[in-house]
Structure 1
């Protein structure tokens, strides 16, 4: 009986021990699983943070790329161009030939031809208020109707005309009794403007250089050595003068923004001349004067480009 009790107790004890061992083993396994689960959750949290951070970074890069693309575009030829309120104009083929009307000294017809190279309003454009931001433009000259801006090609033509006027005025000084007096009155006040124009045209030519190949002309003896550029065909934008009328569909309508709003420049110039010379004959602008956004008609430009009337004012 005791033996049976011992066997029974021994069997029961072993069962308890085995159960305890199993419980401890399960507890250890459970602990390991909990540890692994905690590590896995921590790693998952880190991975989630990395994914969120990477998504934010990709989003920022995408926005930056979109912003860069929104401020520039490519034309069909693959040329990189900036967005502008002035629409892209088609290129045409133009053959350069000498035009005596422009390749001549100062005379009324040539002066007027040079003056009519720009449309009414002198090429300035008027953007309605609160529209410049879409083009990422700095503020223009404020007016009630909008902001006034210049267009580079018309600025360049203005500078070329100013250099021309300066040159022919210098030429007209030859043989005068007191050229220094005339120089001080007519030319010295505008020298800074002329120097500005030389540098501005230099940079404009280097920026938009025409890469057309030019060959030498044929001399009388059949040889070729001098290049004058005539007879060479170039790819050209529409001529500035073509934009004078709204009937030209390829010209930006904004170029006509100042049409019909011409200010009395004739009177202003006459007043300056009267103040300087005691006469109402038009003269060059004041010292340091640069291109301003006061609209001008071709006829008024002809007044400012002629060197004869200022000379007559001095002689009077």
Structure 2
């Protein structure tokens, strides 16, 4: 595995990159410690509360009687996406899901871990005659009406939050940019404007993930954290009734609009 996070890894990112990494200019590190500390505390608390959000948004408990008149919980309203089977999944700690330290090796390993959940095409699919379905306005891309499968947008947003937290706490490259099927980089508009753009994007991710949590409503019961004597839970050991994510990922890849896999 290459250890060059900034140059060689950036070469992996195609024109469809969802989560990008950029070096932070030196002058952007000169922030007031009080502001920096407040940001760290705020983001840290939120990231801590969202540490299992990846699984919470893609591993959803389906119980009997959860069907509504327009289809099962979390299915696609227009039946444009198949209804995937559910499987029991034991929540386990994935040590590669977060960085062990701020070394290039650790960041690369974590990046690759997240990338393994993304299908080629990053979950963007074309829909013909989109105006005939109950859908929001499409993304126009390469002459197609394009839509993003929500679960991959959710993964993108959570990675953005984690990467931003790493940038604040340890100076790792900062990620920004909305989920987009064809753009790999955003223009450099200067430090202040980039700060504002990044702040808007992180706020978007928090809002989007909150909406996703409210939508999912996972009712699995989680017990005691086995790694501590403190009265607490971290979700480890709970069994969830889950969509078959590999089947879902494979379907998204089979129906991809473009043929490259982004650098996440």
* Superposition TM-score tier, normalisation by shorter sequence: 0.5 to 0.7
TM-score, reference length from structure 1: 0.48
SS at match of 1:101: helix
Q: Which residue of 1 aligns with 2:238?
A: 232
2:152 counterpart (144, 151, 154): 154
Residue pair 1:87, 1:252 contacting (<8 A) in 2 also: no
Structure 2: distance between partners of 1:95 and 1:243: 18
- 1:116 deviates by 2.8
Query: Going by fraction, where is helix more abundant, 1 or 2?
Result: 1
- 1:185 deviates by 8.1
Q: Which residue of 1 aligns with 2:108?
A: 108
Matches within 5 A, 1:65-214: 77=65, 79-80=67-68, 81=71, 82-105=77-100, 107-128=107-128, 130=129, 132-143=130-141, 146-173=144-171, 184=192, 187-214=195-222
SS at match of 1:211: coil
Q: How many pairs are equivalent?
A: 173
Q: Given the superposition, is the C-alpha separation of residues 90 and 244 from structure 1 closer, same or farther in structure 2, using an over 3 Å criterion? A: closer
CA deviations on 1:232-260 (whole Å, 9 max, x unpaired) are: 11011122x55444xxxxx357x632242
Unaligned 5+ residue runs, structure 2?
A: 1-62, 72-76, 173-189
Residue pair 1:121, 1:257 contacting (<8 A) in 2 also: yes
SS at match of 1:213: coil
Structure 1: distance between partners of 2:241 and 2:192: 43
Q: Given the superposition, is the C-alpha separation of residues 168 and 83 from structure 1 closer, same or farther in structure 2, using an over 3 Å criterion? A: same
Q: Given the superposition, is the C-alpha separation of residues 188 and 133 from structure 1 closer, same or farther in structure 2, using an over 3 Å criterion? A: closer
Structure 1: distance between partners of 2:249 and 2:84: 15
Which gives a bigger RCO, structure 1 or 2 (Cα 8 Å, sep 6+)? Answer: 2
Q: Given the superposition, is the C-alpha separation of residues 185 and 168 from structure 1 closer, same or farther in structure 2, using an over 3 Å criterion? A: farther
Structure 2: distance between partners of 1:257 and 1:122: 8
TM-score, reference length from structure 2: 0.57
Residue pair 1:126, 1:146 contacting (<8 A) in 2 also: yes
Residue pair 1:84, 1:135 contacting (<8 A) in 2 also: no
Unaligned 5+ residue runs, structure 1?
A: 1-74, 175-181, 246-250, 263-296, 302-316
Structure 2: distance between partners of 1:149 and 1:134: 14
Larger radius of gyration: 1
CA deviations on 1:9-61 (whole Å, 9 max, x unpaired) are: xxxxxxxxxxxxxxxxxxxxxxxxxxxxxxxxxxxxxxxxxxxxxxxxxxxxx
- 1:104 deviates by 3.1
Q: Given the superposition, is the C-alpha separation of residues 184 and 117 from structure 1 closer, same or farther in structure 2, using an over 3 Å criterion? A: farther
Residue pair 1:166, 1:187 contacting (<8 A) in 2 also: no
Structure 1: distance between partners of 2:153 and 2:211: 12
CA deviations on 1:101-143 (whole Å, 9 max, x unpaired) are: 1043452111121123211111111112x2x244222331235
Residue pair 1:119, 1:256 contacting (<8 A) in 2 also: no
